[in-house]
């Protein structure tokens, strides 16, 4: 009950009005119930929206988790996940895809290397086995024929030794990189020229070596340059000249041999690739592949082109570094 008292003009008198609060209490109760319903609906809506948002936010993480689990179980490195968007999770997915692509390329290269190596080893092994079987028979062979077989065995063993050494060199290129150091490319090239000159006395070398400081691993760089020089010397005629230039982090080696066909030029740095004219020559087909591997490990590149006037020009480009004072 609500009572309202109002004084009037006459002394001792007042006007009093009373009204029951049942209707007000009922209205307040209805409002209270409505507020409870609104609050409950708001909480439910917030919970639902939170669940939807959390699922939307965590969906890329769940896809990433499933992809990682699938790769672990199936070893299928071709698996990719959707990386649309520009948020952190999309960048994480893109990084994950990049990692999978790199692993897939590495695994493919390993399989190709094993396949190519087994193919290249099969031929000398078969020939070596045949020669050894002939020598092991209890038959009288003419002295000249026996000596020729022994020379063939020695040459085949040498080819296999060189092939295995180059395979090991390629495998080392896939290991953790060695800390680079300051290197004078011109001095490393000069050392490589002297060593190749001793091994290839029938070929002369002319050199224009400008001071060229770089950052890198001296041993691997020298091996790459030696492979370029040895390749040029192998294709040079007796008494021919190999021209070597070093300038601004680039080594250029030009021979005066028969040259390389235009269609073969893009592939000369591939593993085990042998141009048509090279298939009758000794070698494993790995020397120039090592050159490219060294170049890429140093952030550089290689190229091959036909030289004007005949022969081939090969380039090894590395990043030059300014001299330190």
pLDDT of residue 325: 44
pLDDT of residue 44: 92
What is the C-alpha separation between 206 and 25, in angstroms, rounded? 111
Is the C-alpha dihedral spanning 278, 282, 285, 286 positive or negative?
negative
Query: Could you tell me the residue ranges of all domains in the chain?
Result: 2-68, 92-172, 181-317
pLDDT of residue 176: 47
Continuous segment of H or E residues that includes residue 58: helix 22-74
Which CATH code is given to the segment(s) 92-172? Answer: 1.10.287.130
Report CA 194 to chain centroid distance, whole Å: 33
User: Topology of 181-317 in CATH?
Assistant: Heat Shock Protein 90 (3.30.565)
**Beta strands 213-216; 250-254: pairing state:** unpaired
pLDDT tens readout for residues 141-171: 777 877 888 888 887 787 777 777 767 766 6
pLDDT of residue 146: 77
Report CA 273 to chain centroid distance, whole Å: 20
* Domain 92-172 shares a fold with domain 181-317: no
pLDDT of residue 138: 58
What is the C-alpha separation between 256 and 79, in angstroms, rounded? 49
pLDDT tens readout for residues 71-130: 788 888 887 777 777 777 778 888 888 888 888 887 887 777 777 667 667 767 777 788
Task: Provide the 8-state DSSP code for 268.
Answer: T
pLDDT of residue 324: 52
Segments of the chain scoring below 50 in pLDDT: 176, 323, 325
By the 8 A CB rule, do 255 and 138 touch? no
């Amino acid at each position: 009950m609500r009572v309202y008292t109002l004084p009037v003009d006459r002394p001792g008198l007042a006007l009093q009005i009373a009204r029951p609060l049942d209707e007000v209490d009922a209205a307040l109760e209805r409002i209270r119930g409505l507020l409870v319903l609104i609050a409950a609906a708001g909480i439910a809506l917030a919970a639902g929206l939170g669940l939807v948002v959390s699922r939307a936010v965590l969906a890329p993480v769940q896809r990433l988790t499933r992809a990682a689990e699938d790769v672990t179980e199936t070893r299928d490195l071709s698996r990719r996940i959707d990386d649309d968007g520009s948020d952190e999770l999309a960048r994480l997915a893109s990084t994950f895809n990049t990692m999978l692509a790199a692993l897939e390329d590495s695994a493919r290269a390993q399989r190709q290397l094993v396949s190519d190596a087994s193919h290249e080893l099969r031929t000398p092994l078969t020939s070596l086995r045949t020669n050894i079987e002939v020598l092991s028979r209890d038959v009288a062979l003419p002295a000249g024929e026996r000596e020729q077989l022994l020379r063939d065995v020695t040459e085949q063993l040498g080819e296999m030794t060189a092939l295995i050494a180059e395979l090991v060199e390629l495998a080392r290129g896939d290991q953790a990189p060695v800390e680079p150091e300051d290197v004078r490319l011109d001095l490393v090239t000069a050392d490589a020229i002297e060593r190749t000159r001793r091994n290839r006395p029938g070929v002369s070398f002319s050199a224009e070596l400008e001071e060229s400081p770089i950052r890198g691993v001296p041993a691997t760089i020298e091996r790459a340059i030696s492979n370029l020089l040895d390749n040029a010397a192998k294709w040079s005629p007796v008494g021919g000249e190999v021209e070597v230039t070093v300038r601004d982090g680039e080594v250029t080696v030009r021979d005066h041999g028969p040259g390389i066909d235009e269609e073969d030029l893009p592939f000369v740095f591939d593993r085990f690739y042998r141009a048509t004219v090279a298939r009758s020559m000794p070698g494993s087909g790995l020397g120039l592949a090592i050159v490219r591997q060294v170049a890429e490990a140093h952030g550089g590149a290689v190229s091959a082109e036909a030289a004007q006037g005949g022969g081939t020009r090969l380039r090894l480009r590395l990043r030059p570094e300014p001299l330190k004072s």
